[in-house]
Amino acid sequence: MNDIDEMALFRLGVLGPLTSRGELVRGDLARLIRQIAQQEYAIPGSERRHISEKTLRAWYDLWRREGIAGLASKPRTDRGASKLSEPVQSAVLAAKRENPRRSIRQIRLLLEGTGVMPRDTLSRSAVHRLLKTHGLSRIAGPAVVADEKRSFVAEHAGSIWYGDVMHGPTLSLDGKRRKTYLVSLMDDASRLITHSAFCLSETALEIEGVLKQALLRRGLPGRLVVDNGSAYRSATLQGICARLSIRLIYCRPYQPTAKGKIERWHRTLREQFLAELDTTHIRELGDLNARLWAWIEKVYHCSQHSALGEYTPLSRYQRDLPRIRLLGPLAATLDELFWHRVKRLVRRDGTVSYEGKRFEVPYELTGQHVRLVVDPHTGAVMHVENEAGKTIGAATELDAIANSTRRRQRPQTEPATAGPATGPNLIEIAHRQQFPYTEE
């Protein structure tokens, strides 16, 4: 399964208020585009902060015709070639590698200040293309979407989920003191916890693992509201949501009220679960999570919630079951959506490494860069792909002992051709020059 273009993810995030709606009534399109155009964005590869209404309408038309594929950046015919001179290219790359946080503007000012380039002669786009060609320009994800200031409740269960991480207790696990983190996803309308788990870190991998279980148990949300942490801004999480048509929304920094409902859940968990937890029964992380899930299903989901009237979170969620998007046929291929792709250089012995292990790939790939497709949740390596996302071979764990008796493939050699050579022969030329009178 191909990776989604990173620029397409950014544009889809900008168009979120449009793409997450159904049919637009007369006047809605122009009004929403006007609102989106008034916001500021961290535009990849640009110093601008606003996007014109004309550009937004063009993106929206592309999305309606071709889906997310239409939002991908179009390859240039001169891709990989730079019009900058070799000394200028070297200076640009050196400036970026010396300080990766330098912006294009800072690099231009630096080169002008040191006399490498005259003032206002270095094209910003040329610098950007050069950095991108050398893998030194990282595109950001979707823009920050403004949070709603007014109190609201989702129309039905499955419309909006909230995701957040809470610092958990420090416990003695497997004989070591380890800090835990609670990763949770909550449904807005019902306050139901679609999934929650204590983890030993708060990385994107842990968040994706909780999301995967939530999707299997509770279907697909329309929107997923998260904070601005780096784990939530990972390209893998953005790609998963884009493929499942889940609108990923980022709250503005330092505004915790945007996720007030899940913050209230954290308080309930501290007061009712952590306060009662007997840690003498906890030997490993599985023991802690088993008690968490038992408490959620038997206590929290079955208790009346003040904001739900006579309903419990479970009964309120069940009321909307006919309106919830189920995985359906996607369930069979859900694992593939969560696979990661890591770039590797194939060694001379035809192997690549992942998580401290070595894997053999087709030997003809030696010396090439490939993408290793892995299931990060199980540590399994699936296969290898080329840059276009096409499978080009299997990847099997190296068995060095078996290789000691394995028959080697030998390169095919061309048979020697009979008859005189048709082209110039340096030896014969030298012979004629040295002995000019020996020829008949």
Indicate whether 179 and 305 sit together in one domain: yes
User: How many helices (H) and strands (E) in the chain?
Assistant: 15, 12
Indicate whether 321 and 211 sit together in one domain: yes
pLDDT of residue 409: 56
CATH code of the domain containing 282: 3.30.420.10
pLDDT of residue 140: 42
Indicate whether 275 and 362 sit together in one domain: no
Indicate whether 229 and 362 sit together in one domain: no
pLDDT of residue 297: 94
Which of the listed residues 286, 314, 334 is the one where a domain comes to its end? 334
Q: What is the CA radius of gyration of the chain?
A: 29
Residue 127 C-beta-side C-alpha neighbours within 13 Å: 26
Indicate whether 181 and 207 sit together in one domain: yes
* Pairing status of strand 247-250 against strand 223-226: parallel
Which of the listed residues 46, 71, 96 is the one where a domain comes to its end? 71
Distances (CA, A) of 97 to 70, 94, 100, 101: 33, 5, 5, 9
Which residues of the chain are modeled with pLDDT < 70? 1-5, 20-22, 45, 75-81, 138-153, 252-258, 400-426, 437-440
Instruction: For residue range 378-394, list pLDDT tens digits in order.
Output: 888 888 888 777 888 88
Residue 296 lies in a domain: yes
Indicate whether 183 and 328 sit together in one domain: yes
pLDDT of residue 258: 55
Indicate whether 219 and 270 sit together in one domain: yes
pLDDT of residue 144: 44
Residue 433 lies in a domain: no
Residue 37 lies in a domain: yes
215 CB-contact burial (10 Å; exposed 0-12 / middle 13-18 / buried 19+): buried
pLDDT of residue 266: 93
pLDDT of residue 89: 87
Indicate whether 290 and 266 sit together in one domain: yes
DSSP for 36-70, written as a single string: HHTS----TT-S-----HHHHHHHHHHHHHHGGGG
How many structural domains comprise the chain? 3
Indicate whether 204 and 323 sit together in one domain: yes
Indicate whether 182 and 300 sit together in one domain: yes
Whether the CB-CB separation of 319 and 311 falls below 8 Å is answered with: yes
Whether the CB-CB separation of 103 and 127 falls below 8 Å is answered with: no
Instruction: For residue range 303-314, list pLDDT tens digits in order.
Output: 888 888 889 999
Indicate whether 302 and 174 sit together in one domain: yes
Indicate whether 171 and 271 sit together in one domain: yes
pLDDT of residue 64: 83
Residue 188 lies in a domain: yes
| Domain containing residue 368 | 339-403
Contacts of 72 (CB under 8 A, 6+ apart): 4, 5, 7, 8
Residue 63 lies in a domain: yes
